[in-house]
Amino acid sequence: MKPLVSVIIPAYNEAENIKQNRLTSVYAYLKKQTYSFEIILVDDGSIDTTKEALKQFAADKKEVIVLNEPHRGKAGTVRAGMLAATGTYRLFTDFDQSTPIEEIEKMLPFFDRGSDVVIGSREVEGSLRDKEPWYRHLMGKGFNFGVQLVAVHGIHDTQCGFKIMTEKAVKTLFPLLQVTMVSSKGAFTGAFDVELLFLARKMGFKIAEVPVKWYHVESKRVSPVKDSIRMAWQVILIRWAYLTRKYAI
């Protein structure tokens, strides 16, 4: 039976988060809901014990699927999971659950109101952005200001890793990604959220921005300054790709 909701969780060297029962919490929450679901865990070529742990977690759960992908970075990993999913609505969410899975309940009603893409936001009224260092928040504000100037005007937070969309939007948008699909060493996220929303706007999909709870989870795997510079460059390349008609739209 086709599930109503697919939850896609990208994983790269997540052994520590697995020990903290992040996946157990997601699964337990969804099992309590009245709607059908599937969870797709997409390993991004992890080099720790993540692959084995994901396989073990899924072994006795018919709703859980594990995909083992070559290491490409978050864009390619999320893309693989979203396109492999079968749900009517497809959510991608971060492994560390910085935005808790239960925030999905705020987003699902927007599909009945005609939305195609519903994104979690840490910047609109009613949201909660907890325990984030001031410099990270400032950097995020600066990045979003640039994004609004260059690519996606009017969206307050493109980077919250909690987005859900219809099957049609997924099948239309994800195959178009190109600027942010470059392979990357390490845990680089990239600006694929920006490219996705940029394309959604150009293709006429209705986007809703919904306030969510978000809790800062410290990570030593990312370099805020270096990654922000690389992401800013990708945003410029997204606009350039559109101006030079590289997208098939």
Give all domains of the chain, ordered by start, each with its CATH number: 5-243 (3.90.550.10)
The two beta strands, 207-211 and 117-121, are parallel
Distance CA 149, CA 105 (A): 31
Render pLDDT for 154-170 as a digit per residue (tens, 0 to 9): 788 888 899 999 999 99
* SS3 at position 206: coil
Digit-coded pLDDT (tens) for 84-123: 999 999 999 999 999 999 999 999 999 999 999 999 998 8
First to last CA, the chain: 33
Chain CA centroid to CA 166, Å:
14
* pTM (2 d.p.): 0.90
Mean pLDDT by 10 residues, the chain (249 residues): 96 92 96 98 96 96 97 93 98 95 98 97 79 62 67 83 97 93 69 93 96 78 68 88 89
Write down the pLDDT at residue 133.
Answer: 60
CA nearest to 116, candidates 177, 232, 199, 14: 199
